[in-house]
Structure 1
């Protein structure tokens, strides 16, 4: 528990006090956000605001995790390092996207294909490695079984080991792409994606700690309601570091934002959440925990499908948060109400997680 608290505290302080230093660095370099002319006119005042702030959250999360382990004398685990690696890898793809936007002064960074290729490569490496590194109980960080609260009977390895690994890689790619792009679409208003991510990351702290206390690796707890997760306690440490980093960054990212996370942050945060879901065996539960991201992503899909099929738009603008801006809602009002929705989804997800355990008693 000391490692969990240490990771959260260290990453919070690093993010809180490191962000203003990073802002000065970006301002000195002239790395400001490019604002689309076809977006809400209220956003034009944000032109030039420092971006790529996600680098601070990535650094704070990684350093917070490692330093907490060093101070408590505990060892790192394969599951945690894989999640952090996924976060850093996607953050690098996002950094390239942001850097191109800044240097070329355009709203489009990496082209669609190179960006998807980059995300896919990172996801493939994560997925392949996640099926390696068995512990003494022969549990690997991930499983070929589709999971909800825990692994279900739907095993992707039904047709053999190689096919199972291939299908799992595709499944992991889908999860990583959906989650990272979902956070990316949500990142349109000051503090919106950062606050929503903090809610979900905090939920994974609780999930990891609960799974650790009810682990099948503890003989006294072995039974039908135990969890077959390789490193639940250390995954809680990663989630705690991520939670602290997002809260520290939110201090400067809240309206009026002094810095934006950029794709560097949104892709990295989404990747971290996907990695936590896969390694804690709660893949489908992430749909509930990240319900706000799902709704916002669906608004884009509905808008595109409606316009292509009927020539009409369902929303004044997609993603959904911009629709409410054009309706007349104040930015802060939208952010707070969407945070409430995000919190309710997290509460629902945690409630179902706990209820499933009670049913098994």
Structure 2
């Protein structure tokens, strides 16, 4: 009921957001003359593919007046298909030293000794993309909440990409990183952060435009793609900590509701709506959740740096 006043606000603004991010990324390459890397093309393909799934969902809601858009299984199938194709092709195209955009090993801050193999890597990519894209989608329930949290996460990957480029194995002897195209991943992350910042100007309360599933699925996929290509997959948990917390609130609520015969842990899920029903103002919730997101990102960067120090 508290959101009835937002009816009529334009949605599918995510299409503008993604267009702005990819335009900024392209302009940076045109201005410098540096060629686009294979890793970036694959992540961009992931972003565009998920944006297309989200756009179809938004289009069915807005134009066709189908209130729920795509059915849950249809949306999950589209996301899984895009993620699976990304996972497969990202294990191809080795560079001159044999590094592919996506490693066959599980990674935290760098590759571990746990080899997954092609099939498990594809399944792992699907799991990460589904989890992150739907996590951002669930977070996108209050004005500016998902956008602001995404900015912080993207900036973390900017720092990680630049650091890994400076410590890449081609120039560093000790404690080096073998990510395929870390600097270009940092450029792409910066373009996404900048586009989100511009979008936040209009998406902050009272929002004049919403990103819709077009934007939320694409941004979540971008975070997953950056984490995988930068060999920081498990580090995505703290860096995207707010999205993880909100997703867990939905899982807990749904699971407990089923096993308890209709009882609830929260007044409403996702978690941000629980606090709305407790009487918190929307802006208060958003700012406090941004603080949580910032602390999670800081923890992720701290873990990244700590591993480099002790390795």
**Is TM (by shorter chain) over 0.5?**
yes
SS in 1 for 2:178: coil
Give unpaired runs (5+ residues) of structure 1: 1-40, 157-163
Partner of 2:21: 61
Offset of 1:288 from its aligned partner? 0.6
Instruction: Kindly report structure 1 stretches of 4+ aligned residues shifted beyond 2 Å.
Output: 104-107
Offset of 1:340 from its aligned partner? 0.3
- Measured against aligned partners, the alpha-carbon deviations of 1:317-359 in whole angstroms (never above 9, x if no partner) come to 0000000000000000000000000000000000110111011
Partner of 1:73: 33
- Measured against aligned partners, the alpha-carbon deviations of 1:41-84 in whole angstroms (never above 9, x if no partner) come to 11000001000010011111111111110111111100111111
Partner of 2:281: 330
| Cα distance in 2, alignment partners of residues 62 and 125 from structure 1 | 20
RMSD: 0.7
Partner of 1:118: 78
- Measured against aligned partners, the alpha-carbon deviations of 1:114-134 in whole angstroms (never above 9, x if no partner) come to 111111111111111100111
- Residue 298 of structure 1 is aligned with which of 236, 241, 248? 248
| Cα distance in 2, alignment partners of residues 296 and 107 from structure 1 | 23
SS in 2 for 1:166: helix
Offset of 1:243 from its aligned partner? 0.5
Count of aligned positions: 310
Q: Which has the larger radius of gyration?
A: 1
Alignment partner of 1:241 is 2:215: no
Matches within 5 A, 1:1-361: 41-156=1-116, 164-218=117-171, 221-223=172-174, 225-310=175-260, 311-360=262-311
Give unpaired runs (5+ residues) of structure 2: none
| Cα distance in 2, alignment partners of residues 233 and 59 from structure 1 | 21
| Cα distance in 2, alignment partners of residues 127 and 190 from structure 1 | 32
Normalising by structure 1, we get a TM-score of 0.85
- Measured against aligned partners, the alpha-carbon deviations of 1:21-52 in whole angstroms (never above 9, x if no partner) come to xxxxxxxxxxxxxxxxxxxx110000010000
| Cα distance in 1, alignment partners of residues 77 and 272 from structure 2 | 28
Normalising by structure 2, we get a TM-score of 0.99
